[in-house]
Chain A
Amino acid sequence: MIFQDVIFYIFSAILIASALGVITARNPVYSALLLVLAFVTCAGLWLLLEAEFLAITLVLVYVGAVMVLFLFVVMMLDINLDQLREGFWKWFPFGALIALVMVAEIAMVLMGKHFGLEQMPKPEAQAADYSNTKELGRLIYTEYVYAFELAAVLLLVAMVAAIALTLRQREDKRSPNPSKQVRVKKEDRLRVVAMPSEKKE
């Protein structure tokens, strides 16, 4: 499919350019927005691989929720760029190592025939009415249910821990209690008094 190839190359170009932009942009807000662009184009590439559930979930979770909070924090904080750049040479060897591993992995995929990759069969293209949402749901809740539950518990623990770390009871806190406000009766607030009117002298 020559048309899909063109779309693939356009998306890949945008993805690589925006991913480079994330680490080179001077303004952290631009970095966060370029990361959003990278996620969206990545979702487009996954759609080309017929993984529509994963693609849409990537947009829904990362673009719709995680990056909103990221952007929020980046906008609120007054980030000192010089301080961020200080540790560059200290961390450079570590980053270079990761880059080397990634280059090696990509090379293994691209030069697959030297590594015996052709023994893995190509995944079959599915019919148009094939729902990989249903398929994924069935796999998650049957074959991989323990791994799935473990991941869920891990996330729950993280959530409870985050709340427990920041929860504090303040003595001087004054906040309205809505159920109390709703239940209030006229008699609680209003006192009708009988008062004789003043007489004119």
Chain B
Amino acid sequence: MEYFQQLFEQLFGTEWGAMLYSLATNMVFIYAIIIPVLLGVAYLTFAERKIIAYMQIRVGPNRVTFFGIPWLRGWGQPIADAVKAIMKEIVIPTKANKFLFILAPVLTIMPALAAWAVIPFSPEVVLADINAGLLYILAMTSMGIYGVIIAGWASNSKYAFLGAMRSAAQVVSYELAMGFALVCVLMMSQSLNLGDIVNGQQGGSMLNWYFIPLFPMFLVYVISGVAETNRAPFDVAEGESEIVAGFHVDYSGMAFTVFFLAEYSNMILVATLTALLFLGGWLPPVDMAPFTLIPGFIWLLLKIAFVLFFFLWFRATFPRYRYDQIMRLGWKIFIPLTLIWIVVIGAIMQLPDSIKDVTPLNIWF
């Protein structure tokens, strides 16, 4: 590393060399995050098809393999799907607004990948260790809706526009509940930095993780996360039985795949955030010998996989919500619940230490 830094400084001078060197190293780090995320997306689609297939007593994808190895049958499916998507033509409808039609998938995937910048993968491994990490993630995920709205409008189709309208209303309403649930988390950890939030859950065992004192908020966050990513049972934006495929009905080939990538990348992001904020991140469930030997990164991956499994399970289990029921759940149940819980957490934090010490509250506060 020292060698490359000197090389940059020789080539561009001391001031510019140092700046360009940090730019280059950051680019390398960005790729080191994005490539595993995209691979994770590819194999999440495979996991989804397999898991739902077994839940419905089917086999799922079981043909495409690598080099003819029999026990890898099905594992080549995501790669084959990607190749197929790249080869297909991107059809642009005649009456569509061409510029915005192409821009929409880009605007969807951009925030979905940019939000990964502040995610810590273990105590030291984080690209941007900024103070307002949680706010940054909220800001980035709230920008994802633009791609959906613009796609719906630019396609110049009624179905697409209906899907975009539904999606916009849904995401804006659930963002509030999600934000309030996160306010509870940052009240307990007294920090907006994701690394500090995980470290605040340290203390010996999984009893210290925030999902116990904030259990209603944990549920609200997970359900809002499902709604934010427009996944079943909240997928009225797609609603194939009502409005064909919603906002991406006119998209084909790679343009469609980019929407798909963004949706699954957002799913992994919500699962990662749930693991970090409520399930103790990289902390082992019990601070004892067999558990502490496993590196923290593996624990984080296991927790992410656990939450993602629930996402897939929801899809296989629940029928789609009706639109007015979605709005009712968001505005009339989640937002009052989160508001009350903020007051409860604030009141508990103000209790004198003598009361906290005689009750189990001293584990968390």
Q: Is B one of A's binding partners?
A: yes
Which 6 A-B pairs give the minimum distances between C-beta atoms? A64-B142, A3-B19, A59-B139, A60-B139, A56-B135, A131-B131
| Inter-subunit contact B135/A64 (CB<8 Å) | no
- 5 A-B pairs with C-beta separation under 8 A: A52-B132, A64-B142, A68-B149, A76-B165, A133-B132
**In the assembled complex, B138 has its CB within 8 A of some CB on chain A:** yes
**In the assembled complex, A19 has its CB within 8 A of some CB on chain B:** no
Complex formed: what's the CA distance from A64 to B171 in Å? 10
| Inter-subunit contact A72/B328 (CB<8 Å) | no
Q: Which residues of chain A from 17 to 66 have a CB within 8 Å of any chain B CB?
A: 29, 33, 36, 52-53, 56-57, 59-60, 63-65
| Inter-subunit contact B168/A68 (CB<8 Å) | yes
Known contacts A63-B143, A64-B142, A65-B172: A2-B15 contact under CB 8 Å: yes
Give the residue of B139, B149, B324, B328 whose beta carbon is less than 8 angstroms from that of A56.
Answer: B139
Give the residue of A36, A57, A65, A76 whose beta carbon is less than 8 angstroms from that of B175.
Answer: A65
Which residues on the B side are within 8 Å of A175 (C-beta)? 324
Interface centre among A3, A64, A132 (most CB of B within 10 A): A64
**In the assembled complex, A75 has its CB within 8 A of some CB on chain B:** yes
Interface centre among A53, A57, A68 (most CB of B within 10 A): A68
CB 8 Å contact bits of B133-163 with A (1 = contact, 0 = none): 0011011001101100110010000000100
| Inter-subunit contact B132/A71 (CB<8 Å) | no
What is the size, in residues, of chain B's interface with A at 8 Å between Cβ atoms?
27
CB 8 Å contact bits of B55-82 with A (1 = contact, 0 = none): 0000000000000000000000000000
Min distance, Cβ A102 to any Cβ of chain B, angstroms: 28
Known contacts A3-B15, A29-B153: A68-B135 contact under CB 8 Å: no
Interface centre among B15, B192, B325 (most CB of A within 10 A): B192
Which residues on the B side are within 8 Å of A63 (C-beta)? 139, 142-143
Complex formed: what's the CA distance from A133 to B168 in Å? 29
| Inter-subunit contact A68/B16 (CB<8 Å) | no
| Inter-subunit contact B16/A75 (CB<8 Å) | no
| Inter-subunit contact A52/B131 (CB<8 Å) | yes
Which residues on the B side are within 8 Å of A178 (C-beta)? 325, 328
